[in-house]
Amino acid sequence: MSVPFTIGRLIDYFTSPNPDLFLGLTPTMAAASLVGVFTLGACANFGRSLLMRLSGLRIIARLRKDTYASALRQEVNFIENSEGDVLSRLSVDTNIVGESVTGNLSDGLRAVVTGTVGVGLMFYLSPTLTALMLAIVPPISLGAVLYGRYLKRLSKRTQEALGKMSDTAQESISALRTVQASNAEKHALKLFAKDVDSVLGLQRKEAFATATFYGSTGLAGNVTILALLGYGGTLVSRGVISVGDLSSLLLYSAYVGGSMGQLSSFFTTLMKGVGAGTRIFDLLEREPVIAPSKGTVLEGRAVGTIKFEGVRFAYPKRRDVQVLDGFDLEIKPGESVALVGKSGSGKSSVQALLLRFYDPDLGQIKFNGTDIRDYTPASWRSQIGLVPQDPVLFSGTIAENIAYDRPDASQAEIEEAARLANCEFVWDFPEKFETKINKNSLSGGQRQRVAIARALLKHASILCLDEASAALDGASEHKVNDAIAKILQSRTVSCLIVAHRLSTIQRAEKVAVLDEGRIVEIGTYKELASREGSKFREVMGAQIAAVEY
């Protein structure tokens, strides 16, 4: 802020017949002091920029971690419906918020200081000219407030549209094999382009608003400088102020104008940050429907009877389809129950309820007489090993994948679980258990067996198996069946298996047939298969006929 003042003094010094600089300084001393001030300013700028940048990055990192932690806590239904949107909040929105409260804030503060000191020094030099310049402040401030509000709304909508765009991209990219096999690239691109265009539409509105605001403030600023020069010129000719004072004033007005520009950009960036922040805090503060900390902790390996009592359930997104309607089932400790039924009859949903991915709308699921909702979801889930129909592998080694539920497991335990799950293929890989894999780099049958090993390593008291309905190749299917058979024969775990193959159903101690949301038949395989006209025979028709033939 000392620069315009000193320049004014220097101009007066060189243009005046009786030079007198300021406080008895010579031009050389004034220049030397300025260099000192510049150096100090440079150091302060370095510190400001570095500290603000670093704190911004740390805020972004922390917001990302917290938002991710919150996303992992939410019930699966909420996240599965908006995967891309959640990812966009994690990457884009956190960035906007971080920048708007750090670098932007420091620029804003600097603008406030520059503006206030500038106006103060202008008043010192000429109160009349300063009052003339300040006349443009109220209309510009009003414009900035209106523009900021508009931008905040627009920013939230833009971030939402960006989230939807990410959702669309995520869906196709994660299913690229299906997209390419169906020659659906054009269709996928069309869907994505539609989302991109809606983002573009919103950004265009923002561009128009910004251009209008900056265009008009720029015009107002230039007109003010012209007015200052015109009126200031008459004051100089009348000898009220010196040429140096007018030069200082003009420079200060440029500083103040610049700081007002910075202030409005601070305000608009802050409003964008508020828009993006709303989306982050919506997720950060969201209470999951299935509260992670509610309930008592189920310690150790708990053995007991599982009882579904009058369970009614419909998916939140499809309330009109009653998936389970008076579902009753009992699984005793160590018992294996095969759940059979037509495709879409609700078998996987039963397992999803047992794992508390959802809670029943009515009725209860009890473990040893206690509603499973009375346990914390994490401690309840720690009792269950899960082998889904299409198991998911994560990027990492085979050992890490097998030990996913129990990262502390020893190599010997991992190998033992792999042996029990018929994962002998691992020993054929050159790097054995250290072989790096990702979600696609094993065959379907191998994936199933790794998932079985994972579930076995957990030493859970309950196993939820969803048998692959897709046909595996003969050898692979035999290995998977054999691994499942070993589990069914052991009496140490209760097993709820969604079964499609006759061989599996035959091995289960109890077979339950699910139809229209409830168990319609229950018994041993022999009882159900020998009952003429049974629902079981209807569901398993072709397979039973093949055996009898």
Ligand X SMILES: Nc1ncnc2c1ncn2[C@@H]1O[C@H](COP(=O)(O)OP(=O)(O)OP(=O)(O)O)[C@@H](O)[C@H]1O
Residues that bind ligand X (CB under 6 A): 315, 317-318, 321, 323, 341, 343-349, 469
Beta carbon of residue 307, minimum distance to ligand X (angstroms, whole number)? 20
Q: Which tokens belong to 167?
A: 């959702």
Whole-angstrom Cα distance, residue 226 to residue 234? 13
Centre a 10 Å sphere on the Cβ of residue 281 and count the other Cβ atoms it contains: 16
* Closest CB to ligand X among residues 348, 379: 348
Beta carbon of residue 325, minimum distance to ligand X (angstroms, whole number)? 12
If you compute the radius of gyration of the chain from its CA atoms, what whole number of angstroms results? Answer: 36
Instruction: Give residue for tokens 């085979």.
Output: 398
Helical residues (DSSP H) of 175-184, grouped into ranges:
176-181
CA angle centred on 391, ends 350 and 498, rounded to 5°: 30
Q: Which tokens belong to 338?
A: 């095969």
Angle between helices 243-284 and 27-73 (to 10 degrees): 10
The answer to whether 161 and 198 are in contact (CB under 8 A) is: yes
* Closest CB to ligand X among residues 111, 323: 323
> DSSP string covering 396-427, please?
EEHHHHHTSS-TT--HHHHHHHHHHTT-THHH
> DSSP string covering 325-336, please?
EEEEEEE-TT-E
In the chain, how many H helices and how many E strands? Answer: 22, 12
Helical residues (DSSP H) of 19-93, grouped into ranges:
27-73, 76-80, 83-88
Whole-angstrom Cα distance, residue 207 to residue 451? 51
Whole-angstrom Cα distance, residue 353 to residue 498? 13
* Closest CB to ligand X among residues 274, 350: 350
* Closest CB to ligand X among residues 66, 325: 325
What are φ and ψ of residue 35, in 5° steps? -60, -40
Beta carbon of residue 391, minimum distance to ligand X (angstroms, whole number)? 14
Amino acid at 122: M
* Closest CB to ligand X among residues 80, 434: 80
Beta carbon of residue 304, minimum distance to ligand X (angstroms, whole number)? 24
CA angle centred on 99, ends 95 and 144, rounded to 5°: 120
Beta carbon of residue 338, minimum distance to ligand X (angstroms, whole number)? 13
CA angle centred on 230, ends 229 and 234, rounded to 5°: 105
* Closest CB to ligand X among residues 152, 347: 347
Residues shown for the chain: 549
Q: Which helix (H) or strand (E) holds 23?
A: none
Beta carbon of residue 344, minimum distance to ligand X (angstroms, whole number)? 4
Centre a 10 Å sphere on the Cβ of residue 136 and count the other Cβ atoms it contains: 17
Helical residues (DSSP H) of 238-321, grouped into ranges:
243-284
* Closest CB to ligand X among residues 220, 339: 339
* Closest CB to ligand X among residues 90, 497: 497
Beta carbon of residue 341, minimum distance to ligand X (angstroms, whole number)? 5
Beta carbon of residue 80, minimum distance to ligand X (angstroms, whole number)? 7
Beta carbon of residue 460, minimum distance to ligand X (angstroms, whole number)? 21
* Closest CB to ligand X among residues 133, 464: 464
Q: Which tokens belong to 84?
A: 């891309």
Whole-angstrom Cα distance, residue 179 to residue 172? 7
Beta carbon of residue 357, minimum distance to ligand X (angstroms, whole number)? 9
* Closest CB to ligand X among residues 333, 388: 388
* Closest CB to ligand X among residues 63, 539: 539
Beta carbon of residue 352, minimum distance to ligand X (angstroms, whole number)? 7
* Closest CB to ligand X among residues 10, 468: 468
Q: How far is CA 11 from CA 5, 226, 242, 262, 475, in A?
A: 10, 20, 10, 29, 94
Beta carbon of residue 281, minimum distance to ligand X (angstroms, whole number)? 27
Dihedral sign from CA coordinates of 304, 325, 345, 348: negative
Beta carbon of residue 343, minimum distance to ligand X (angstroms, whole number)? 3
Instruction: Give residue for tokens 């009349």.
Output: 128
* Closest CB to ligand X among residues 328, 400: 328
